[in-house]
Structure 1
Amino acid sequence: MTAAHHSAALARLLGRASAVTVFTGAGISTECGVPDYRSPGSPWRVHAPIGFAAFLADPAMRAEAWRRKWAMDDLYAGARPGRGHRAVARWAASGLVRAVVTQNIDGLHGAAAGPGDEIVELHGNGSYARCLGCGTRHELAPIRARFERDGSLPHCSCGGIVKSASVAFGQSLDPADLGRAVDASLGCDLFLVLGSTLLVRPAARFPELARRNGARLAIVNREATPLDGEADLVLRADIGDVLDPL
């Protein structure tokens, strides 16, 4: 099937939908220069994030976590929204897409559409930091400048530990974001998966919820997913090639 046929098949489903929830994973951002986690030789494996328990328990682990974050940030510092992000943003602006639920921490959906309530960042956002005590937002540039000057670890004025606003391994997801993702899954008539293998839970349960609630399910991903057999449409294709014409 050609890219044009892929686009036409998805267009038919979109044309029958009135409320679409888009669910995205790393595959939508790879054309932007953001590496995915599972590919062989992925820099995420070299600079593997420090687990949440170790981050809390040991200042040396916190320092290593920040060092690894800076290394990863430098790899995709110039990343800009790609064709997939821009297409989803256009659909959201038109009212067709009611919610974008993403596993990504790169902030590219927000960069494409501007901040909005329709974007649910399940795993947080790596472009800023938050105090684990009071929740105050902290910008990364001054944190990095102090760290690279003398190895200083960031602390909030409340005395709390400051951490990247992305969710670490072992750290709980935000209950409010989980609730919004559930609502989006139950409130759509088409659930569109873009660039996710649907292997990470609880995120992977959202398309299941939508399907059980009567929504159609479409999956655009280069690799097979556990839900391919339940989907109304499965396209093993490049996301940008499929979405750009739409």
Structure 2
Amino acid sequence: MRLLLVEDEQELASQLCKRLQDEGFVVDHAADGPSGLHFATDYPIDLAIVDLGLPGFSGLELIQRLRADGSRLPVLILTARQAWQDRVAGLEAGADDYLGKPFRMEELLARVNALLRRVGGWAHPVLEAGPIALDTRSQTVSLAGKALDLTAYEYRLLAYLMHRPDEVVSKLELTEHLYPDDADRDSNVIEVFIRRLRQKLDPDNSLHPIETLRGRGYSFRLGTPHRS
């Protein structure tokens, strides 16, 4: 998953970027409103974390501009402002959630994961489809209750597909959302990860959880996923 952090406090931004990257996210950082709008508009972002007090123009205006352009990008507000009116204004501008400063990193991660699940229609931290279960809290995957040994990139790829069940996801989209811009992006590696995932998720070749659509991409299609 690819996150955008729009935060002008450099020390806090560095800490957040590192922790989010440690949790497996690709993170883009902007330090002002105009740069944040550029990233949110022109980059393949899955979720934005936006501070309200930004130079250039405020986080509130950034959100308003995104929504005016029809963007449905999930937005989590960070704010040191204590007045409830400021938080209400952020939500009414189109933000999906807010978190007051100071905060614990665990709560930020929980809110980020909850918003990402909501986009895919999942209500529970464990995404279940047939015998396959992906726990977004522990970042583990099991098959019929037995833990699977996945690499970090295999987990990220599966999580991205499972957050978008029945959607067609191209190789280009997967590379953009799984790798930072300065990474060596070899789209053929995606095929290797897909093959490995199929071997681990479907050793008997009976489930067929990941479908290949020639010339279009891949889709996670294992019956009707359980979203409760």
**Superposition TM-score, scaled by structure 2 size:** 0.32
Relative contact order, CA 8 A, sep 6+: which one is greater? Answer: 1
**Superposition TM-score, scaled by structure 1 size:** 0.31
